[in-house]
Amino acid sequence: MQTKKFVLLDIDYVTRNQEPVIRLFGKLVGENEEGHIIALDKSFKPYIYVIPSDPHRVTDCIHELSELKLISVEKVSRNDMGQRKEVLKVTFKHPRDIPKLMEKILKLPSVGEIREHDIPFYRRYLIDKGLFPLNVVEVQGTVLNPAQFLQGTQGPTEGSENIRTPKTCIFQMENHPQPLDSSLPEFTVLSFDIEVYNPRGMPQSDLDPIIIISFSSNQGFRKVLSTKNPPDSSNHQESSLDFVEVVSDEKELLEKFVETVESENPDIILGYNSDSFDLPYIRDRAAKLGVPLKLGIDGSPPRFTRTGFTNSAMIKGRVHIDLYFNIRRYLHLARHTLEHVYRELFGETKMDIPGDEIHIYWDEGGRRLETLFHYSLDDAVAVTRIGERMIPLSTELTRIVGQPLFDISRMASGRMVEWYLIRKSFQYQNLVPNKPSPSEVTHREAIHVVGGYVKEPVKGLHENIVYFDFRSLYPSIIISKNISPDSFTDKQELNRDDCHVSPESGYKFRKEPVGFIPSAIGQILQDRVKIKSKMDESTDDWQIQVLNAQQEALKRLANTFYGLYNHSTFRWYSLQCSESITAWGRDFLKTTMEDAEKQGFKPVYADTDGFFATYVGTMDEITKTTECHVKYVD
């Protein structure tokens, strides 16, 4: 039996001999190890929870379920919105059996409800095994010949019998994978960009050929592939085109693209609008010219999957990230072109050629063609630099939320919080609430919750302005007032000794035990305080950069919690929680403003979690009069 250690990059499952097989894709680590691994686990099976219609009908429910084609039905104890219940863990042979049998199960007389039926199989595996992508995993088992595994396999790898990357290790696990504590390793990143000959305007993949593909990596690799010879630059040594490699035609261009990905063997592939343009265009042209796009470490072509309102290109074993969507999510800019973003992040002007003029530069040749080559390479280099700035936040969110980097890079903050809570639910033995039905979503969307308090600004010019700021106001209210669906109660006999009572509405939240969501968000805030303390103590610039990415990731998650209570699709939706948080927020802000006025401050503007005020005095006098966090504002 052999032992392998690898950084977990991605996960999926395939069907082999009619059974699901989990595949863990990773970057090998350790002495004398290089390349990638696909670790296989055929022991894990999908399951759901069934809640009997009556606590006294558990035995009836077991009997009725046993008549279906299931592996097992096991009685377990779980928490459901603060109540301990006996429920049934129902295990299936294959993930596809769950939607097939759900309707039958729900029609059984003894069944009341089904839970956790919509958690994808690969996500279920990560949660149950305690695995976090981008962390190190240790496995024991045997190395397989690729043909041994591919025989009888159905799924995303079907048709990829010829694995072309010799460094890929196929490994059959013979025990449970063991997560190991580890720092974030360095990943090999390869950026790419394409140029299309488009004399008719907007490129059309059925007509317009790809003429240039450029590459840049974080290891110093830079190259431009072209179907046209560069101009003779022997008389212009300052503009060498050594980075240009010429191929005979577009077919060879695409073959060289595949070869370059294979030879550079990146862990992460970056593009800019590559989900919507570059990779779909490459796919279409490759299909037209008969070029196999074996870009995955398993020899598979890119697979396009629906994420939100768009398609995403998945390359197996390599994390493909489209930076365009990351930029739109995290940078609020008037324009999100590559040139504009590059100038915003680095204060530098990047070379630009309008898209509808690419064919002109190509046809004219000479200096113009030379400029086009430099422009194309500049695009790929810019993507690499932007990635180095933007990826750390996504990688830290991946390690916190526990879902693959491919998914996290395309996931809204609310979805990240939901998957964070689903993982926490497993740890706390809580049942995950079901998603709301379409009619319930419509009903929730019609409900308006009053937001934070806003005081209109006092007109005029003001001097000696200070700012009072509540640190993490809404997350702090959730924790201090134990605001959670499982701690909410409408029992009249409970009073203020037992409960926190919200202003205005009078909603009650038990003081004990600590609610599920206050517990989860409390851990996030504690971790962030520890990380910021480490930042203050550190003198290492690289460590400070890593720690800053970690605390920023935690901050984003913490600040997302409040809004989700009132989000129509949130599994833990609670109108009472949402209204109570804003009510306490308004109360705290107004009370603090009143106290500040008694100390000589005059509030001139307030909004949600802080207010501006004028004061005639020095900073020393201000800090003596209040324990709030205050600062002068220019």
pLDDT of residue 623: 57
448-484 pLDDT tens trace? 999 899 999 999 888 888 898 888 889 999 999 999 9
pLDDT of residue 428: 95
CATH architecture classification, 2-44+124-180: Beta Barrel (2.40)
- The pair of structure tokens assigned to 308 is 């939100």
Q: What is the pLDDT of residue 158?
A: 41
The CATH number fitting domain 189-391, selected from 3.30.420.10, 3.90.580.10, 3.40.50.720, 3.40.50.2300: 3.30.420.10
Return all residues near 329 (Cβ < 8 A) that are at least 6 apart: 412
C-alpha distances out from residue 284 to 250, 318, 343, Å:
12, 21, 32
- pLDDT, position 329: 84
pLDDT at 152 over 50: no
d(CA 186, CA 168): 19
Name which residue leads in pLDDT, 562 or 373. 373
What number is the average pLDDT over the span 493-512? 91
CA 35 to chain centre: 25
Q: What's the pLDDT score for residue 308?
A: 67
The per-residue pLDDT for 634 is 40
> Which phi-psi region, left, alpha or beta, contains residue 572 (left: φ > 0; alpha: ψ -120 to 50)?
alpha
Total count of residues recorded for the chain: 634
Q: Please check the confidence at residue 632 and state whether its pLDDT lies above 50.
A: no
Reply yes or no on whether the pLDDT at 633 is more than 90: no
Please give the CATH topology (third level) of the domain spanning 435-632.
Palm domain of DNA polymerase (3.90.1600)
631 has pLDDT over 60: no
Assess whether pLDDT exceeds 80 at residue 149.
Answer: no
pLDDT band at 160 (very low <50, low <70, confident <90, very high): very low
7-11, 32-36, 408-412: segment of lowest average pLDDT: 32-36
Nearest to 477 by CA among 416, 529, 525: 525
Q: Report which DSSP code applies to 276.
A: I
Q: Which of 44-53, 117-126, 164-173, 559-568 has the weakest average pLDDT?
A: 164-173
Question: Could you count the other beta carbons within 10 Å of the beta carbon of residue 446?
Answer: 7
Task: Choose among 459, 507, 457, 465: nearest CA to 487.
Answer: 507
Residue with the larger pLDDT of the pair 34 and 435: 435
Mean pLDDT of 552-569: 89
Give me the percent of the chain exceeding a pLDDT of 90. Answer: 72
pLDDT for residue 233: 52
Residue 98 pLDDT: 95
Closest residue by Cα to residue 243 from 278, 217, 268, 262: 217
Tokens 């046993």 — which residue?
Answer: 66
Higher pLDDT, 380 or 154: 380
Give the CA dihedral 30, 33, 37, 41, nearest 10 degrees. -50
> Judging by DSSP bridges, how do beta strands 454-455 and 610-614 pair with one another?
unpaired
pLDDT at residue 626 greater than cutoff 90? no
Domain extents in the chain: 2-44+124-180, 47-114, 189-391, 435-632
Contact 316, 266 (CB under 8 A): no
Entry pTM: 0.90
CA angle, 202 then 204 then 209, to 5°: 110
Per-residue pLDDT at 366 exceeds 80: yes
Sorted by sequence, the CB contacts under 8 Å of residue 39 that are 6+ apart come out as 4, 6, 23, 24, 26, 137, 139, 141, 171, 173, 177
Q: Which residues pair with 469 in a beta bridge?
A: 610, 629
| Mean pLDDT across 135-163 | 66
Longest dimension (CA), the chain: 92
Give Cα 345 to chain centroid, integer Å.
Answer: 22
Confidence band (pLDDT; 50, 70, 90) for 310? confident
Quote the mean pLDDT of the chain: 90
Which is it for strands 36-41 and 19-29: parallel, antiparallel or unpaired?
antiparallel
pLDDT at 624 over 70: no
| pLDDT category of residue 161 using cuts at 50, 70 and 90 | very low
**What is the C-alpha R_g of the chain?**
29
Average pLDDT for 192-215: 94
- Cα torsion 490, 491, 497, 501 to 10°: value is 20
Q: 182 falls in which pLDDT band (50, 70, 90)?
A: confident
189-391 matches 435-632 in fold: no
Partners of 87 in the beta sheet? 76
Q: What is the band of 620 on the pLDDT scale with cuts at 50, 70, 90?
A: low
How many Cβ atoms are within 10 Å of 460's Cβ, its own excluded?
6
Tell me what pLDDT residue 629 has.
Answer: 52
pLDDT band for position 576 (cuts 50, 70, 90): very high
Stretch 378-394: mean pLDDT, rounded? 94
Percentage of the chain beyond pLDDT 70 is 92
CATH 3.30.70 fits 47-114, yes or no: yes
Residue 478: both structure tokens together: 């959730």
Q: How confident is the model at residue 561 (pLDDT cuts 50, 70, 90)?
A: confident
